[in-house]
Amino acid sequence: MKTILFSILAIGIAVTTEAQTTIKANFNKGDTTVYQTVSNIKMELPMGAGNKEFGVTTSTRYVVLDKTNTGYRLERTITKADYKGNKEIANQMGNSMEKYLTNTPVILQTDTNGTIIKIENYDDVVGKASSVGIAELEKLYSDNPQIEAVMPKTKAIMSISAQLEEKNIIDNINEVTFLSFYGKKSNNGDKEDRTLQQGIKAVTTYSINKLQGNIKVTGLSKSNMTENDVKQMMIANMKKMGMGEEVTSQIETNWGQMKAMGMTNLDFDSVDNYNFLPSGWISDSTTDGTVKMMGMNMKITVKTNLDKKNW
């Protein structure tokens, strides 16, 4: 009887092991890969206020500077970022980190799987990114001096400094790229609690399909935020922008009125697809998402394609 039980247990372990997938980098020193990403957001504003749209096309280059028995040195550089559409929406909803880091090489140290451990040239990165962010702020306040009353420039500068802490830069790179999958062990049906851009909390359910060394990862995400989560997200985003207590406290004060108007709920759904090659690079990826919040509907699409490679 014990033999039978042990045999059944062994088969169960074998099946579980076979089903589990770990995505790993399999790069070579000198590998150079360039991706083009096209992102677009369409917004239907509440109470018949019309529609707004913005988009950005970026080119991102990866160069494997070194490969050792402990991991990789991977240089990532956003070489181009072309913005189109409504600038106000782009400033509010866009990925400000992309603007700060454009044309600034970020040298990432990873483990053998490709998981990011640290930024090797962090001091250089934060120096250049801060200069870009502060120059942008100076122009914003010069063109719109009335902003100072609701968002003091000194607080806005401090918020940029907070965004550019090493952990936050790494978190942002992981959030918007395929690098977050390296070292992750996944089974079909696995669920993961995630905090996405702008602070949206969601649960992602994964499916994994393997064929001849290629791996397709699909993630179905849905928000799971309480009313208090939504409130705290709004306040946190305002503080990140540098807005003072006198502005953020209005969220608390007017929350009951906002709730009566049906503007305190948040619904988020998205489908993400990543196609990994045997080398660990992706051939392409897509994101299709919708957000409903404060009476506003947003449609988000992101498409990334392998543009150039030397391997």
Note the pLDDT of residue 247. Answer: 72
CA distance linking residue 304 with residue 306, whole number of Å: 7
Amino acid at 230: V
At 179, which helix (H) or strand (E)?
none
Cβ(106)–Cβ(76) below 8 Å = yes
Cβ(180)–Cβ(146) below 8 Å = no
- How does pLDDT run along the chain (311 residues), one tens digit per residue? 444 444 444 444 444 444 688 999 999 999 999 999 999 999 988 777 788 898 999 999 999 999 999 999 999 999 999 989 876 666 666 678 888 999 999 999 999 999 999 999 999 999 999 999 999 889 989 988 888 887 888 888 888 898 899 999 999 999 999 999 999 988 899 999 998 877 889 999 999 999 988 999 999 999 999 888 888 888 888 777 767 677 778 888 888 888 887 778 889 999 999 999 999 999 999 999 999 987 889 999 999 999 999 99
Q: Is the pTM of this model over 0.75?
A: yes
Note the pLDDT of residue 19. Answer: 60
Q: Is 64 helix (H, G, I), strand (E, B) or coil?
A: strand
**Residues forming a β-bridge with 208:** 217
Amino acid at 127: G
Note the pLDDT of residue 20. Answer: 81
- CB burial of residue 85 (10 Å; 0-12, 13-18, 19+): middle
Largest CA distance in the chain: 81
CA distance linking residue 95 with residue 87, whole number of Å: 13
Note the pLDDT of residue 126. Answer: 96
Note the pLDDT of residue 38. Answer: 96
Note the pLDDT of residue 16. Answer: 41
Note the pLDDT of residue 115. Answer: 98
Pick from 117, 15, 41: which is nearest to 72 by CA? Answer: 117
- CB burial of residue 242 (10 Å; 0-12, 13-18, 19+): buried
Note the pLDDT of residue 81. Answer: 92
